[in-house]
Every structure is written in C-alpha cells, then in structure tokens.
Chains A and B, each alone.
Chain A
C-alpha cells in the first residue's frame, strides 16, 4: 500500500535552514509528482512547490522563490524540501503530498507532517 513518511520535528533558530525528508513506498516513485504544503498554527493550507519525481523538474510558489529547494533521490524513493533564512512566521507543519494519478493538482496521499518551530 502507498505510504509517505516524513522526518521528525525540528527546532531551528531564525536565519537557519531546515531540510525535511519524505520517503515514499508502495508505488513507482518516479511516476508521480510530489508537492509540499505547509500549515501554520490555526491557518489554511499553503502550497509551496512541487517536483516531478521522474525528471527532477521543480516549480515553486513565488512567495518562497529563492528560499525553498526541493530535490529527489530516486534510489531512495525520497523527496527533500529545504527552506532557508527561517523566520518565526515559518513555524508550521510541513507536509509532502503525492499528486494523484490523473494529474490536476490534487493530492491523494499525504505524509504525516513535520512540525518546524522557528524560535530564538
């Protein structure tokens, strides 16, 4: 069965970087895009970007351009999201989510979420 498992919670100081991992299993990793979505406490879901796990192409929200990098390791069936220059407003739960087989920017399997806390 499809599973998407993320790395554990992180606490970072302002200005630092964080790298969250997302390991997929139960399907052909390179056949699907992987997206990153975050949710600040009590806030709506916020899309950050995605990676074509097949060819490595990426696309990011303008809001995070220059601060976010998403890569994948096909040998490990894993995707990674790195966010730099962290500030307190980046405190949120970060999710990776697989795009559904029909395309169309919907997400059929989600990781369990990784809480990133930015605090001095």
Chain B
C-alpha cells in the first residue's frame, strides 16, 4: 500500500501551537480529501478533521486542517496536556483503490 509520511513525533509546551505534516502523492493527497484522527492509547481513533479542513461538531476550533498540493497539515493551538495522543492522516488513493493512512505522529505536550 502507498504510504503517507508523517513525522514520528512532535512536541511543544502547553498553550503553544504545533503543526503535523502529512506528505503524499498525486494519487492520494493531491487529488482526494484528507482527514485527521487522534488516538489515545488503547482507544479507537477519533475524527478531528475531514475534507481537508472541516471540523465535525464537538471538535474545538483549536484544531485546523489545510492542504497544499500533495501535502496536508494539521494545526493545534492552545495545546493542552489532554492533547497528548497519536495523530494520523488518511485519504483515498485513486491508483491503488485503498484508503491509506500515515504512520502516525506522537504529540508530547511538555
């Protein structure tokens, strides 16, 4: 399966802002919507962003998404200790006809 590339880890202090990148190709991110999820240990992923930049109801506006070309970015402002989790990007790959996910980024709030 095609792989979306994310940094293994990011960190920032409480109250600060962090961004997580997700790099793909024209067959996935370049021509399809991107979604973002966070996952606490031992729990199911939870949707944060869909269609590149839309937030489901209940997700605070501290979370934002953007896409440019074959890369997408998740932004989190006003970091809280409760934001510590693994974050995954996902999208459809038109060439492989599969949903592909990034390898995940572990966010540490120092």
**Interface set of A (CB-CB < 8 Å, partner B):** 35, 37, 44-47, 59, 61-63, 95, 97, 100, 102, 104-108, 110-113
Contacts and interface: CB of A to CB of B under 8 A. Distances in A.
Contact of B44 (A62, A100, A106, A113): A113
Given A63-B1, A113-B44, A106 B97 contact: no
Interface range on chain B: under 10, 10 to 19, 20 to 34, or 35 or more? 20 to 34
Contacts of A105: 32-33, 35, 90-92, 99
B45 A45 contact: yes
B38 to A, nearest CB: 12
Nearest to B88: A45
Contacts of B33: 104-106
A111 B44 contact: yes
B104 interface: yes
